[in-house]
Structure 1
Amino acid sequence: MDEDQFKAPESYRDMEKMKIEIWSDVMCPFCYIGKRKFESALDRFPGKEHIEIEWKSFQLNPAMKTEPGKSINDYLAEVKGWTREYAEEANNHVTRIAGEVGLEYNMDKAVVANSFDAHRFVQFAKTKGKGDAAEEQLFKAYFTDGKNTADHETLVNLGEQIGLDGDEIREVLGSNKFAEAVRKDVYEAQQVGARGVPFFVLDRKYAVSGAQQPETFLGALEKSFGEWELKNPSPVIAYAEGASCTPEGECN
């Protein structure tokens, strides 16, 4: 039998999906860790092809100044009132946690950078279907590669690596485009109860706060999707036709 007979009709391949919104900030170490743990759960979830992920903007420190020459340990000591030694130990601790999920954190290379333009970059990438890829690039750039994620040319380079047009990115970053989209996400975070990140909202009904274990995410996925599926039943699709009988007694 021709394998094309087993393909679903085009109209059913893009069926409505259950949306999961994830609020995060590129400078949040637990957001990258949470991304990996959530992905681990999603990989084990049978209905993952019916899940749509949308990354949402959240700024932990909107007033942060971009200071490429400043150590992240010095920055944390200043803003949190910690000793530098305590800040260094805190970063070593989160580095160990990141390693448990296969991530390499080089916090000694992290660049103190305001994340507003990085969020505008993600908002633009979302319009091209590249939101998740943009988030992954930003996290790696910040935590692993020690790149300045507020620098426009750095963002252009990251975008080009995921197939975005560099000139379009420059045009966006050189303007005020997507600034309102970032502010809207920040406002929505308050409305859904997000006081920190990462913050996962499933079908606008259930929330998971923080970098939880994959089992927690999986349980939330199963519960929210089960309820969503009851309200959005999938149509029965005939993938192939063969010999059959009808209620009228005709068999062929």
Structure 2
Amino acid sequence: MKVEIWSDVMCPFCYIGKRKFENALATFPGRERVDVEWKSFQLNPDMKTEPGKSINDYLAEVKGWAPDYARQVNDHVTNLAAEVGLEYNMDQAVVANSFDAHRFVQFAKTKGKGDEAEEQLFRAYFTDGKNTADHDVLVALGTAIGLDEVELKSVLSGNEFGAAVRQDVYEAQQVGARGVPFFVLDRKYAVSGAQSSETFFAALEKSFGEWEKENPQPLQSLAEGAACTPDGICN
């Protein structure tokens, strides 16, 4: 069964939601038959990469908040992240457009490394204070998970996978995603936001139960012996 997750690297609840979903999936009996696919979603496509600007100042500008209030909001999400074992250093976060980061993930998906790429990006942005729009940073993250350095540099230097990013954004609109994280299970059920692991587990149970009825697991042979086939051959 496929679970699609729309997210953006700059969304603090996306990383938290990732962990909560992973915790639920880790204890789910049918986890070996669940395929997770990460999908692109840009919260602010027009964002300019500004390494010298603090995330608090950025939020104050775009949302009209006072800098102190922006800091309080980030402190709050930092505490929520800590509850699931994540370390957020929001004062180090780099204001960066996420389009190339999404292209990086799209490329990684073709190599079976989508989940690893998402994890690297989230940690780079929220924990390590790295510029996730910088191609050198993305190449370093990619090689750390086994992606080919030359191939990745070639992808980032051009426009490859840009169409895949835009397709995901379009699909998000079609499935009703108005924000992220947004989880779609078997294209039947949706879970919006960084819900509790219990909520994710219940959603997995419901969607997987229905999916399994339509996709029964083949019987596994425990032993084979002499038998006759419908065509009359016995051996």
TM-score, normalised to structure 2's length? 0.95
Structure 2 equivalent of residue 122 of structure 1: 105
Partner Cα separation in structure 2 for residue 239 and residue 138 of structure 1:
44
Structure 1 equivalent of residue 233 of structure 2: none
Structure 1's consecutive aligned runs of 4 or more residues displaced over 2 angstroms after TM superposition are 239-242
The residue type equivalent to 2:101 in the other structure is A
Structure 1 equivalent of residue 27 of structure 2: 44
Partner Cα separation in structure 2 for residue 127 and residue 55 of structure 1:
12
Structure 1 gap ranges (5+): 1-17, 247-252
CA deviations over 1:108-160 (Å, ceiling 9, x no partner): 00000000000000000000000000000000000000000000010000000
Structure 2 equivalent of residue 134 of structure 1: 117
The residue type equivalent to 2:157 in the other structure is G
Q: How many pairs are equivalent?
A: 228
Partner Cα separation in structure 2 for residue 174 and residue 105 of structure 1:
30
How far is 1:241 from its partner?
4.6
CA deviations over 1:205-241 (Å, ceiling 9, x no partner): 0000000000100000000000000000111011445
1:198 maps onto 2:181 in alignment: yes
Report 1:1-252 matches (<5 A).
18-241=1-224
The residue type equivalent to 1:212 in the other structure is Q
Partner Cα separation in structure 1 for residue 46 and residue 140 of structure 2:
25
Does the residue aligned with 2:191 lie in a helix, a strand or coil? strand
The residue type equivalent to 1:152 in the other structure is H
Partner Cα separation in structure 1 for residue 107 and residue 206 of structure 2:
32
Partner Cα separation in structure 2 for residue 160 and residue 245 of structure 1:
53
CA deviations over 1:79-124 (Å, ceiling 9, x no partner): 0000000000000000000000000000000000000000000000
Structure 2 equivalent of residue 14 of structure 1: none
Partner Cα separation in structure 2 for residue 218 and residue 245 of structure 1:
43
How far is 1:245 from its partner?
11
Identity of matched residues, %: 77
How far is 1:44 from its partner?
1.0
The residue type equivalent to 1:232 in the other structure is N
Partner Cα separation in structure 2 for residue 198 and residue 240 of structure 1:
46
Structure 2 gap ranges (5+): 229-235
Partner Cα separation in structure 1 for residue 45 and residue 155 of structure 2:
20
The residue type equivalent to 1:59 in the other structure is Q
Root-mean-square deviation over aligned CA pairs? 1.3
Partner Cα separation in structure 1 for residue 97 and residue 206 of structure 2:
37
Does the residue aligned with 1:54 lie in a helix, a strand or coil? strand
C-alpha spacing 1:239/1:168, structure 2 compared with 1 (3 Å): farther
